[in-house]
Structure formats: C-alpha cells, structure tokens
Chains A and B, each alone.
Chain A
C-alpha cells in the first residue's frame, strides 16, 4: 500500500480493483478491517468465529466487487457483507451438536482495557452479547457499540429504521437483565437488584412493521 493512495476515495479504489489493480482492494481492507473486526467479534462473541466470518466476507467482497453499484458507501457495503457472514456463522454455530465455550478471555486483546475491573466488565458485556439472538446483537453492536447512525444501520441490515430501533430496544432490555447478575457479583453497573420480568423472546418482533 503506497501512502499516495491515502487520499483516494473508497469508490475509486473499487473501480481500480475492478480494472485489475491488485493493490486497491488491500487498501480498502486496511482502511476498514478494524471496524469490521469489532462488529464481527461483538456480534458473534467469539474470536475464532469472527475471524472466519470476516475472512469469508472479505473474500466474497473481493470477488463480487464487480457487482458493487455504488448505491451505498463502500463501508456500508462491506459492513453488510460482514454482518451477513456473521449471521450465517451464527446459524452454523447454532446447528452444531455441541456448543463450545467461547474463548474471548483466552485471547489477549491487542489494546486491553487499563484495569482488571474494566477487562472483566468488557468480558461480561461480550458474554451477554453472545446470548442475544444474532440479529439483535448485530443491531445493538452497530448502534450502541460502534455508534453508527440508525439510518446507516438500517441500510447495512437491509431493514427499516424502526426495526433497527426495536431490535436495539429488545437487545438492551435483555442485556440489562443478563448483566444484572454481574452487578450482583460486584460488577460495575449500578442499579437496583429488583427481579425483573423475563422478556418473552418468542413473540414476534413487532418492530418489523415499523418504518
């Protein structure tokens, strides 16, 4: 990757890739890989699964870049492919006869939180995210963790904005419930310990009809 490419627009890089410039796609990957990685890791809650999903997604993007129409930003397009790969990965994981324990704690983060307490909190949050339905996890990761605008997340997930909000609301309620136990063990999230009504995960996602 040459530094002279730093100012080149993502769409121009896709165009160069489609014209046969073998460096262009690598520049795009270098630009976006950290964010894509975080989305995958937090949606799937497992580093090995996240690595598989991101790799599958980027190879798919590499091969299908000729179909990129420019209707959305390259970043949005890449996120959509990664999220879809994560959802596929989550479905495969769900179909496995034996669910392996996630090993996030075993893989040292490159930029670890400063304190043990912060590290424990992050691990608990990741563990809680792992228990969400993948569609909810993807929505809440994109909105609350990565801070993307709801409209952009709707584009990434190919759903109405109301559905994004609804999935986020359900995810937050479920996470608040899951993290309550962590609080009671001495975690850092303040709040009462009044038992809460369990959320019914079975009823249909009413937000699907929202726009």
Chain B
C-alpha cells in the first residue's frame, strides 16, 4: 500500500513547505522544483503569506538593535587581557634597555664585570650518570659548587643551571620560570640523545670579551653566561638568576633569567635561540618574580 504521491517541497495538504519556501527565496532549489513552487505561489494566497513571513523574519533579524558590548563585559575582557599580558609580556623594542644608552656602557670592560661576577656561587644540577632528566626533574641538587675562589665583590646569589628539556612558549613561561628559580622545575621527558648537560659550569671564558656574541651552547660557560647577561641588561653587569638549556616553541633555546632593571617584582626571561649578542633580536618576556 502506498500513500498519496507528495511532490518534493510540498506537504500532504498540498501547500508548500516552509523550508522549501525559504530555500526558494535563497535560490537553492533545482529548476524544476523552483518552477513548481512559482506556479503554486501564483494561485495560493496562504503560501504567499508564508513566503512573506520568511521575508518578514529576515526584516526582524536585521532590525535587531545594534547594542554595543556592555561596559561590565568590556571591563571583564580588559582585565582578562591584562592578566594574559602580565602572565608573559613580550617586551616591545622601545621598552628594552638599550646598550648604547646605558651609563654603564662607557668605560666598563665586559671582561672586568665577567670576572667579578664569575665568583658567584653556582648551584648546578647534577644529572648523574644514569636516569633521565625527567626522573630527576623535580629534585634539586643539594650540593653547591664554588666555581671561583677569588671573590671580587662576589654576589651572594646563585645561578641555577638546568637542562629541563621543557618546551617554553609565551603562554607557559610564567609557569615554568618560577620552577627553575625555586629549584623545582616542571619535569618533562628528556628527548633521546639530549642528555648531555654539563653538571657544572665550565670555568673559563671561551670567548674574548671583544667579540660580545655567544652562541646558546657557549652559555654553558659561566663567564660567557655572565657576559651575556650583561649584554641583556643593556651593558650593566647583572647576576643571572637561572639558565635552562631547553626549547622555545619547539626549537632548542637557552633560557636566561635576569632581574628586571629597577623592578624587584619581576624578572626578565630572555630566549637565546641563536646567539646572545648586542645586535641579535632576542625575544624577552617579563614575568612576576616568585616571592
């Protein structure tokens, strides 16, 4: 038993379906169906009314008032953006301290500062001979190794050296940096063959002071690291707080953390992807200094 034949686009009552009329209005129907509906509309007042209803709906939609975003939502989003910016602020070039504008630039030889700061007490992770970084990632080495005995105004701070293998990104910097500053870095799996972190800084400057350019690998040497930090600090000698031989956005990078100039509440996190030098463009992020 078959039911009554129903033409596509028409209901059992013989009237055009609302959906078909809407598609007709949008010129979406096949030619045959379009013709059938056009013929029907010429004689059916009800269906013409329905088509008019669809068009009136469009008019109602376009007449909705164009209200702006409410002020409470504006404030809320503004605050969220501020949070996002403070979480890891990319320092614009204009706000970075410039080497040549620093009063410390004139007359201060980089090597002098490097020697002076090289007497810092270094806390270095001991990866040991076995096990991965991941297994030990959360365990700070308790031993401290004085690298230089000749203390020329040696700061009492320490430089923490890590090879976490972490993948730093703009959105996780503010999470990862407190870990390496506090000695509890976020454990991450160590990439295969990437376990050759030196346990301590080597003690000699492998570059001449005049070169003023250090590859990210050369920063494994403490004097080089300190010379690099001085470059990052616009020529003022500064004690780096931590260094992590890791990755940034999936590519190898050395992360150097130094105090923010004149702002004890923050630290600057420099990303050394190729070289640390006065003329290379290195990303830098400002994050809150953990208390």
Judged by DSSP, the binding face of B is helix
Q: How far, in angstroms, from A196 to B53 measured CA to CA in the complex?
A: 11
Q: Range of interface residues on chain A?
A: 35 or more
Which residues of chain B are near A144, meaning CB under 8 Å? 58, 61-62
Q: A169-B25, A175-B57 are in contact. Are A59 and B81 (CB under 8 A)?
A: yes
Cβ 8 A contact of B64, one of A25, A122, A180: A122
Instruction: Check A33 against B77 for contact (C-beta < 8 Å).
Output: yes
Which A residues from 154 to 182 make CB contacts under 8 A with B? 162, 165-166, 168-170, 172-173, 175-177, 179-180
For residue B1, CB closer than 8 A to chain A, the reply is no
Minimum distance in angstroms from B140 CB to a CB of chain A:
30
Q: A62-B81, A192-B49, A207-B28 are in contact. Are A110 and B68 (CB under 8 A)?
A: yes
For residue A68, CB closer than 8 A to chain B, the reply is no
Instruction: Check A191 against B49 for contact (C-beta < 8 Å).
Output: yes
Which residues of chain B are near A166, meaning CB under 8 Å? 23, 26, 28
For residue A153, CB closer than 8 A to chain B, the reply is no
Which residues of chain B are near A112, meaning CB under 8 Å? 65, 67
Cβ 8 A contact of A162, one of B28, B56, B64, B92: B28
Contacting chain B: which of A5-13, A16-24, A69-77, A91-99? A16-24
Residues of A within 8 A of B (CB): 19-22, 25-26, 29, 33-34, 36-38, 42, 47, 51, 54-55, 58-59, 62-63, 66, 107, 109-113, 118, 121-122, 125-126, 140-141, 144-145, 147, 162, 165-166, 168-170, 172-173, 175-177, 179-180, 189-192, 194, 196-197, 199, 207, 210
Q: A34-B68, A110-B70, A189-B57 are in contact. List 6 more A-B contacts (CB 8 A).
A: A33-B74, A38-B67, A165-B27, A169-B22, A189-B53, A194-B46
